[in-house]
Structure 1
Amino acid sequence: MVSWFKEHTHQRSHHYLFPSRNLSSPMPTIQLRPSSARGHGRQNWLEAYHTFSFARYRDPQHNGFGALRVINEDVIAPGSGFGEHPHREMEIFTYIIEGAVEHQDSLSNTEILQRGDLQFTSSGKGIWHSESNASKDRNHGTPLKALQVWIRPSTSELEPAYYTEHFSDADKHNTLCHMISPVGQHAEGTVPINANAHVYAAIVEPGREVVHRVQGMEGKRRKVYVHVLMDGNTGAVRVEVEGGEEVLRGGDGAYVRGVEEGDEVRFKSTGEGRVEFLVFDLA
């Protein structure tokens, strides 16, 4: 898989971290988004955690981040799911943590996807789809655990499109795996998105570190959001920029503001077990 990252072992310095930063620019900041403060809903077939305002959960302080509009962490019971429903003007993907999802849509796509598969829908002018747990045995089946992510497109009235790509655990092992990149800057092996956004995933062992170099244009401010999966592991990750650091555990997120092209955001696994997380690099 294409990756824009490598590990660094040398000493950090202000000059190295931000080689092109205007010294009059404010330093980046990190704001923790603790899992305990997220929205939480439970039905007889669904348990959902909402990072941003969604459905009945409303928090004016957390309505999205740049083009990133929704991060829902869902646990769907066997034999259940979201029935056919419409979407428009949204880029939507499903990141499977455990189990399998059955997808059907009005473009005649029908398939079952498992861990490692990234299912991506560009809803454009309009599309109908359904997403359900592919395990049908309500008594003995496997729950589906997945992230549902929505990103606003930068161009409207596009024709809907559907993509799938596989990114194995090995592709993410102690590195940041580039999964999604913008149309016009599309990186080989990634899924194209109609937004100025890059998405990465990593699975990092204790004591190891990976580094993200912010994408974009020189001098243009960017935002980075980090989300740690609720995967039952004992991992944690320390997120660090020149302006500070935060330690994130399962379900936690962090807003990183004030970064520019070329700035580095560092992620070090500090827990007892591996940690899996997604990184969103946004205009």
Structure 2
Amino acid sequence: MFDMRYAAERGKADFGWLQSHHTFSFASYYDPAQMGFSALRVINDDKVAPGAGFDTHGHKDMEILSLVLSGKIAHKDSAGNTEILPAGEFQLMSAGAGIYHSEFNASKTDELAFLQIWLQPNQQGGEPGYQQKDFGQREGLTLILSPDGRDGSLTLRQDALLYQLLLPYGEQLAYNIAAGRKLYIHLINGELEVAGNRLQPGDGIKISEETALILTANAATKALIFDLP
């Protein structure tokens, strides 16, 4: 079963300093048909003006992943982490029993573009955690998140996997889906064909009750593949 989520149909927010597109219901955007998918709760495509950002605010019992597309994030949290997150790096903050943090555009001249992704954990409470890593730009699949940190991935408090997919134009990749699992694919750039569905940047697709896929890059493609319970 395939269910497209088109970029143009996402929720929108415009605060002047922040332009955001919401794949799923978030803040003032509410769509009962778009409350997340399995453990995946939020994908926000954010653009932040130079020097602006999110003041200190709190989270609890959520796995929060950031991927910088361009620019740099200046991160500070109540666990004592003060970091700069450059383009291409992934940051995973496990909120656990509670954490406060701020995120600002580290540049006074250039726009920041990043994806903010939330996954619901399969455990409540616990100590907050922070991880950050650049996984490079290797073609094919690169494991970014896993519940056991295998293959150098970041450790997620959920039975889910996240892959970075990089495919050059014309290349194909086969993906086998374990019984009972679901996939969500979010296209960052390029054009990706999934079982006859063509994804453009910002598009996503929910996949359930399938066992295998052939992914075809109709342009040089970068995507995220969430393998979910």
Rounded Cα–Cα distance in structure 2 between residues aligned with 1:96 and 1:211 = 27
Q: Which amino acid aligns with 1:236?
A: E
SS at the partner of 1:270? strand
**5 Å matches for 1:54-73?**
54-73=26-45
Q: Which runs of 4+ in 1 moved over 4 A?
A: none
Aligned CA RMSD, in angstroms, stands at 1.2
Residue number among 75, 81, 90 corresponding to 2:62 in the alignment: 90
Rounded Cα–Cα distance in structure 2 between residues aligned with 1:228 and 1:98 = 16
**5 Å matches for 1:1-283?**
29-135=1-107, 137=108, 141-169=109-137, 171=138, 173=139, 175-183=140-148, 186-215=149-178, 220-229=179-188, 231=189, 235-240=190-195, 245-259=196-210, 263-271=211-219, 274-283=220-229
Pairwise CA distance, 1:265 = 2.2
Pairwise CA distance, 1:266 = 2.1
Q: Which amino acid aligns with 2:212?
A: E
Pairwise CA distance, 1:203 = 2.2
- Structure 1 contact 176–212 (Cα < 8 Å) conserved: no
User: Percent same amino acid at aligned positions?
Assistant: 37
Pairwise CA distance, 1:188 = 2.4
Rounded Cα–Cα distance in structure 2 between residues aligned with 1:142 and 1:58 = 31
Q: Which amino acid aligns with 1:160?
A: P
SS at the partner of 1:258? coil
SS at the partner of 1:36? helix
Q: Which amino acid aligns with 1:279?
A: I
Rounded Cα–Cα distance in structure 1 between residues aligned with 2:6 and 2:45 = 14
Rounded Cα–Cα distance in structure 2 between residues aligned with 1:57 and 1:249 = 22
Rounded Cα–Cα distance in structure 2 between residues aligned with 1:165 and 1:265 = 28
Name the TM-score, length of structure 2 as normaliser: 0.96
Name the TM-score, length of structure 1 as normaliser: 0.78
- Structure 2 contact 181–227 (Cα < 8 Å) conserved: yes
Q: Normalized per residue, which structure has more strand?
A: 2
- Structure 2 contact 11–21 (Cα < 8 Å) conserved: yes
- After superposition, the C-alpha distances for 1:180-219 in whole angstroms (9 at most, x for unaligned) are 0013xx312100001011001122211011222235xxxx
Pairwise CA distance, 1:99 = 0.8
- Structure 1 contact 46–77 (Cα < 8 Å) conserved: yes
Unaligned runs of 5+ in 2: none
Q: Which amino acid aligns with 1:190?
A: S
Rounded Cα–Cα distance in structure 2 between residues aligned with 1:258 and 1:277 = 21
Q: Which amino acid aligns with 1:222?
A: R
Q: Which amino acid aligns with 1:239?
A: V
Larger radius of gyration: 1
Pairwise CA distance, 1:96 = 1.0
Rounded Cα–Cα distance in structure 2 between residues aligned with 1:121 and 1:73 = 18
Unaligned runs of 5+ in 1: 1-28
Paired residues, number = 229
Rounded Cα–Cα distance in structure 1 between residues aligned with 2:12 and 2:215 = 27
